[in-house]
């Protein structure tokens, strides 16, 4: 074999080895599911005038995490109710509102005293309560019973959840435990319902806020989008794809899916080479740095045809001790300061702190062709829960 042939063989072997290593790397983080969508992404259209940034923080709020005893649960909830008030009260968006926290509370962890404290925090204007659920090998009948009972309990005892103004139906936002919406885990664990999107719609779910779930294999091919998913009741993970919500469009499918940012973080590389996955998760190991905030905004998630309204939905598991200092301390304080400094100048950007329900309302306003200031549409379809109304009345009387 001459030198040229030997060199060519070596290069081919190296290329094959590199391709094998890349494939192995992608599959080790389940990136093969979504990396194609990420590489094919299109930039957000250029807009005239300011970009309105809707910032929504949703929390898989689990006081009983790791089967904690009651004193530990109480300490977790009490710290949130004390320290979040102090943190949020130092910040305001363009509309004069403090940061809004979405307490997606697990049905299977219900304890009245915990919800009563969170209810009071929300009534003071710091967020809203929605529904989180962990279940496994479930049945349709049991799922209906559990969800209907929990919706009624949250509304009647804790003033949570809105009633649809036309139908009177209780409406809720949803985050699936273990990321397994619509039975989406490859091994079939932590759900059991291939028709879960249909069931959620029928039970009053206005939108799902589970995603992104990378690096889990429950992550969808569709990324960085707000879309309608149509359920195949005989197959899992029907929300893998869907129809984007668009200005002037008609609602379709079974459930609106509201995703947070997902991409690659090249500024924080493993071993200096491999980019980390940016999945909008906030915790001590991935604090909400200004660079991450900038990346979330640049992702530009929006309703098609309304690129000047950008939605940034980030998530956390707020009761885990390793992360509470980050979530209620200097790192999150600095995150809000950066948001209010870099994205609230009134000329290039306008900042709006929003709840999950308000995200849905503003999305529906965009779909209906509304424009201008999104603050006008926080209650476009669904009114505030009863607890929020009580808090608004109290604050209005005090003013």
Q: Mind listing the pLDDT tens digit for each residue in 332-370? A: 999 999 999 999 999 999 999 999 999 999 999 999 999
pLDDT score for 246: 98
**Which of 5-9, 48-52, 73-77, 285-289 shows the lowest per-residue confidence on average (mean pLDDT)?**
5-9
Q: Please state the rounded mean pLDDT for residues 280-285.
A: 97
**Which of 33-47, 188-202, 260-274 shows the lowest per-residue confidence on average (mean pLDDT)?**
260-274
Q: Mind listing the pLDDT tens digit for each residue in 297-307? A: 999 999 999 99
Q: Please state the rounded mean pLDDT for residues 282-290.
A: 97
pLDDT score for 75: 98
| Residue 144 main-chain phi, psi, to 5 deg | -60, -45
Q: Please state the rounded mean pLDDT for residues 235-243.
A: 98
Q: Evaluate whether residue 33 is within a structural domain.
A: no
231, pLDDT greater than 90:
yes
Q: What is the pTM of this model?
A: 0.92
Q: Evaluate whether residue 76 is within a structural domain.
A: yes
Q: What range does the domain containing 251 cover?
A: 67-398
Q: Evaluate whether residue 13 is within a structural domain.
A: no
The DSSP element (H or E) to which 3 belongs, if any, is: helix 3-28
Sign of the torsion angle spanned by Cα atoms 214, 342, 266, 286: negative
Q: Evaluate whether residue 57 is within a structural domain.
A: no
Q: Evaluate whether residue 158 is within a structural domain.
A: yes
Q: Evaluate whether residue 14 is within a structural domain.
A: no
pLDDT score for 131: 98
Tokens of 287: 């604090």
Q: Which residues pair with 257 in a beta bridge?
A: 208, 227
Largest CA distance in the chain: 90
Q: How far is CA 100 from CA 176, 205, 319, 365, in A?
A: 20, 20, 17, 20
394, pLDDT greater than 90:
no
**Which of 47-51, 255-259, 341-345, 357-361 shows the lowest per-residue confidence on average (mean pLDDT)?**
47-51
Quickly state the pLDDT bin for 6 (edges 50, 70, 90): low
| Residue 64 main-chain phi, psi, to 5 deg | -90, 15
Q: Evaluate whether residue 365 is within a structural domain.
A: yes
What percentage of the chain has pLDDT greater than the value 90? 84
> Residue 385 and residue 381: Cα distance in Å, rounded?
12
389, pLDDT greater than 60:
no
168, pLDDT greater than 80:
yes
Contact status, residue 352 vs residue 330, Cβ threshold 8 Å: no
Q: Evaluate whether residue 95 is within a structural domain.
A: yes
67, pLDDT greater than 80:
yes
398, pLDDT greater than 90:
no
Quickly state the pLDDT bin for 195 (edges 50, 70, 90): very high
Q: Please state the rounded mean pLDDT for residues 221-230.
A: 98
235: left (phi over 0), alpha (psi -120 to 50) or beta: beta
| Total number of domains in the chain | 1
Q: Please state the rounded mean pLDDT for residues 203-212.
A: 98
> Residue 246 and residue 48: Cα distance in Å, rounded?
19
390, pLDDT greater than 60:
no
pLDDT score for 391: 46
pLDDT score for 396: 45
Q: Mind listing the pLDDT tens digit for each residue in 12-32? A: 666 555 555 546 665 667 899
Mean pLDDT computed over every residue of the chain: 92
Sign of the torsion angle spanned by Cα atoms 97, 102, 103, 107: positive
């Amino acid at each position: 074999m001459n030198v040229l042939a030997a060199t060519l063989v070596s290069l081919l072997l190296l290329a094959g080895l590199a391709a094998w290593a890349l494939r192995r790397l992608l599959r080790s983080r389940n990136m093969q599911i979504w990396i194609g969508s990420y590489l094919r992404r299109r930039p957000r259209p250029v807009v005239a005038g300011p970009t309105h940034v809707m910032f929504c923080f949703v929390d898989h709020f689990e006081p009983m995490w790791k089967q904690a005893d009651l004193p530990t649960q109480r300490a977790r909830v009490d710290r949130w109710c004390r320290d979040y008030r102090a943190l949020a009260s130092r910040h305001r968006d363009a509309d004069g509102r403090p940061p809004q926290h979405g307490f997606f509370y697990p049905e299977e962890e219900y304890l009245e005293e915990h919800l009563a404290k969170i209810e009071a925090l929300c009534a003071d204007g710091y967020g809203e309560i929605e529904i989180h659920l962990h279940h496994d090998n479930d049945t349709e009948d049991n799922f209906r019973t559990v969800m209907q009972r929990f919706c009624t309990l949250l509304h009647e005892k804790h003033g949570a959840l809105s009633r649809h103004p036309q139908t009177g139906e209780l409406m809720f936002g949803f985050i699936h435990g273990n990321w397994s919406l619509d039975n989406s885990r490859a091994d079939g664990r932590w759900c059991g319902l291939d028709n879960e999107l249909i069931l959620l719609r029928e039970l009053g779910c206005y939108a799902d806020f589970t995603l992104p779930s990378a690096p889990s294999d429950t992550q969808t091919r569709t990324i960085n989008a707000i879309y309608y998913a149509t359920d195949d009741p005989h197959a899992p993970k029907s929300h893998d794809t869907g129809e984007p919500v668009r200005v002037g469009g008609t609602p379709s499918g079974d459930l609106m899916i509201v995703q947070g940012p997902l991409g690659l973080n090249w500024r924080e590389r493993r071993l200096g080479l491999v980019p980390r996955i940016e999945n909008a998760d906030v915790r001590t190991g991935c604090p909400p740095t200004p660079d991450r905030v900038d990346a979330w905004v640049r992702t530009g998630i929006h309703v098609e045809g309304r690129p000047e309204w950008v939605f940034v939905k980030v998530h956390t598991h707020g009761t885990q001790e390793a992360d509470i200092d980050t979530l209620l301390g200097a790192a999150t304080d600095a995150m809000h300061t950066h948001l209010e400094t870099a994205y609230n100048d009134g000329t290039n950007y306008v900042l709006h702190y929003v709840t999950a329900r308000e995200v849905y309302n503003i999305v529906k306003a965009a779909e209906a062709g509304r424009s201008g200031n999104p603050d006008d549409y926080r209650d476009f379809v669904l009114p505030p829960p009863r607890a929020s109304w009580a808090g608004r009345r109290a604050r209005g009387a005090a003013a």
